[in-house]
Structure 1
Amino acid sequence: LYLLTRPPDPPRWNRTPVAAGQFPTGDLGSVTALAFGPDGRTLAVSGGEDKAVRLWDVARRAPAGQPLTGHTDTVFSVAFSPDGKTLASGGADGTVRLWNTAQRTAIGRPLAAGRVRSVAFSPDGRTLATGDEDRTARLWNVASQAPVGQPLTGHTGWVWSVAFSPDGETLATGGADDSARLWDVASRTAIGRPLTGHADSVLSVAFSPDGETLATGSVDRTVRLWDVASRAPIGRPLTGHTGEVWSVAFAPDGRTLATGSEDRTVRLWDVASRAPVGQPLTGHVEPVLSVAFSPDGRTLATGGGDRTVRLWRP
């Protein structure tokens, strides 16, 4: 006898953040990027125009040491390695920098790339991907800090976002040519044709935890879900935002998708039904540029042009 049950609904998040406010030190600019460390205790924050990266103790909501400095222009993206020992940052100065998170020191020399819009570690931590304004994505050997093969070419506009699949075999890129692309990491070749349907630049891409779904957010104010195996869209676009969708992130259980927008709101979506979960999260007074779930899925961090980071819980 088999009992068929409907899976529980995704949690409805409290519309009042548990923490918010302007950073107490430094000339912090717009919060362009957020990333939780794998233990969930540390949050890396890029203040954009201040050219630095800060590490924050999530429990204390306080700085953990001094800012990481060395970039000479806006920092657009940050990412932790899977073991949390290394942080990557990429920016408008045309470099990627690797940092020892325990010692808070630079590792080796900066990696020279185009103006870097996005960075992402592979699941095994051996490879770093970058998306650049020169219309390419690049793969780097983290240990040697050397490029892996030639840049990935095909986009005809800036590469705004990069993301590895959970098995590390596929890289997704989102571009200013209104498309997303999938790449075979081993051969560094494109998989099939570009994913098209957005009417403007694809600003953010993210794989679901099971690797079966790709989410894309666009300047056209929509979010689209794609079946990775068939490269076909799943249902109709997710609509509701009234501004560009700057950032998308799946919850660790894959049931909820968070999106941050130029319209100053964060929206949560039930991935299975593609329906909104509750009302939008409001409070930011400028565009929401980055969203990130903690590894346990119990906290959502959002950063915006209002120079604040907000933490939300169900």
Structure 2
Amino acid sequence: MVSQSRPVRPEPANFEVFVDTCLRIAAEQDVPLPVGLGDRQAWDEAYRRLRDHTDRHPRPPAPTRSCPPVEPPGSEYEPAQVSVSAPAPAGAVPAGAEAAPRGPLVTRRRIILATPLALAGVAVPLLIRQFGGPAKSGAEASPDNASGDQGYDPAGSLLCPPISPDNPTWSVAFGALHGEPVVIVGRGDGTVQLWDPLTRTARGIPLKHHDKPVFSVGLSSPIAVSASVDGTLRVWDLTADPPASTQLGDRLGGGINGVALGRVRGATVAVSSSDDHTVRVWHPASPSTTGTVLGERLDTEITSVATSTLHGTTIAVTGGADGAVRLWDVEAERAVQVLGTHEAAVWAMAVGAIGDRTVAVSGSDDGEFRSWDLTAPKPGGHTLNRFRVAVKSAAVGVLNGRTVAISGSDDNQIRIWDLATGQPYGEGLTGPDKGAMSIAMGDIGGRTFVVSGHWDGTIWTWLL
């Protein structure tokens, strides 16, 4: 069984051994098995349903409470800039969609992805409270030192403690509102909440408009979009006090695992990944319209999504329960190609840029963290690391002039990778003692800002 406070998630190989042993003993001892559990495929499906039910229906949480505001020490304000890293347009989109082979789904995990959630070139003035010391230079760090001391403080700051038992912070996003940085979070109790990362105070109480956990949030001022296990997307007007939300279209036939925002013909769109086997594009300006399916319905759940631009075209990259990493043309509403496959479900996806090259990163239940060069004629995955545990979350941004990826994994570690060299960058990030279910990053006043949400319900931040 699974403990909600400290879940046990068996490796696929261990589960297969367990199934083989059960089937062998049943055959040898002539033990009748329950209907539908007499073969490997039936066991896989039963395990998938058990994991899905466990993650979607945790124990009822205790009454929620908002985190008490934390008054920061007095200091002077000075003008600065806030932006969220987003990739620049790059090479041409490849053509030719193809199907990916599907293997047995032996593990399931509800993890939230983290993607660049603002659009290219977003940078607005704000009043920034100094975090001590001047902003770091944007000069590019030497790749020869990629695994050494990169001159940042890895220690994180607790933005919010758990607000109730068994209430994970599934999703986080970062952006700007009225010229000031803002963090939005989604939790297991179906609430979303805004936070000011500078004053370290909540901007209002948690707002409950979803019936089930909020697995993903996207932010593109002045709106945000939340995605939930209840099968709905909601668009939030962040200029209202408190923020007001409207359901987008109809409720889908499965939970929505991810949402990422982008722009098509000058309008903000949301791209969703869902358990109903679809990738859809939604138009927040037309809330009554259900999202349009990109391409066609697949034969697997879509577990993660990130958006970017490629040669001036808005694209999406998704991960599936079948392990496939797929590229989509959002503007043409079609599948482009399968980039490659992991050995298990892909729950973490993010996109960024190295110069004029657009790159994606993916993290999977198989423990592999990969990068993908989307501008290459035949994009192929490069393994950054192979963990003994699942990779839960990912983000891409810029640190000390280097394009980096940040990964969160089941060993409760947060690591940084230099995407140009494929090597670890610095010593990672420290502070949390539970796994990061979501990570987002951006820029505050020339400093790299990172925020993460965790299984124990905490929210952590870093200003690097």
Instruction: Give the alignment's TM-score, normalised by structure 2.
Output: 0.61
**Larger deviation: 154-163 or 259-268?**
154-163
User: Aligned partner of 1:159: which letter?
Assistant: I
Q: Per the alignment, do residues 40 and 242 of structure 1 end up closer, same or farther by CA in structure 2, a change over 3 Å counting?
A: farther
1:37-92 CA-partner distances (Å, limit 9, x unpaired): 23562100112x211001011111111012222101111000112xx111100101
Residue 304 of structure 1 is matched in structure 2 by 454
SS for the counterpart of 1:109 is strand
User: Alignment partner of 2:293: what SS?
Assistant: coil
Asked if the contact 2:316–2:327 (Cα under 8 Å) also holds between the matched residues in 1, the reply is yes
Contact 2:248 / 2:284 at 8 angstroms: preserved in 1? Answer: no
Alignment of 1:31-70 (within 5 A): 31-38=169-176, 41-47=181-187, 49-70=188-209
AA partner of residue 365 (structure 2): V
Query: Deviations for 1:176-233, whole angstroms, at most 9, x for unmatched residues?
Result: 11111111122211113x1224211111222114562111111111111112133422
Task: Give the AA of the match of 2:319.
Answer: G
**Share of identical aligned residues, percent?**
27
Partner of 1:134: 276
1:129-208 to structure 2, matched below 5 A, reads: 129-145=271-287, 146-147=289-290, 149-153=292-296, 155-166=298-309, 167-192=312-337, 194-208=338-352
Say yes or no: does 1:72 pair with 2:211: yes
Question: Are the equivalent residues in 2 in contact too, given 1:224–1:233 (CA < 8 A)?
Answer: no
Q: Does the residue aligned with 1:73 lie in a helix, a strand or coil? A: coil
Aligned to 1:29: 167
**Quick check: 1:260 aligned with 2:404?**
no
Q: Deviations over 1:130-159 (max 9, x none)?
A: 110111111112211223543543543221
Change (3 A) 1:151 1:191: closer
| Matched letter for residue 182 of structure 1 | L
CA contact 2:159–2:197 (8 Å) conserved in 1:
no
Q: Is the CA contact (8 Å cut-off) linking 2:451 and 2:461 kept in structure 1? A: yes
Q: Which one-letter code corresponds to 1:301 in the other structure?
A: V
Matches within 5 A, 1:238-253: 238-239=384-385, 241-252=387-398
Deviations 1:14-38 (A, max 9, x none): 2211335505x56771111110123
CA contact (8 A) 1:96 1:110 kept: yes
Partner of 1:118: 258
Whichever of the two has the greater Rg, that structure is 2
The amino acid that maps onto 1:74 is P
2 CA distance for matches of 1:290 and 1:52? 16
Equivalent residue of 1:29, what SS? coil
Give 1:127's aligned amino acid: V
Q: Which residue of 2 aligns with 1:221?
A: 367
How many pairs were matched up? 303
In structure 2, what residue type is equivalent to 1:233? G
Structure 2: which 5+ residue stretches go unaligned?
1-138
Hey, what does 2:232 align to over in structure 1? 95
Q: Which of 367, 370, 380 is residue 233 of structure 1 equivalent to?
A: 380
**Richer in helix (by share):** 2
Tell me which of 83, 86, 98 is aligned to 2:223. 86
Residues 77/271 of structure 1: CA separation in 2 closer, same or farther (3 Å cut): same
**Greater relative CO, 1 or 2 (CA 8 Å, sep 6+):** 2
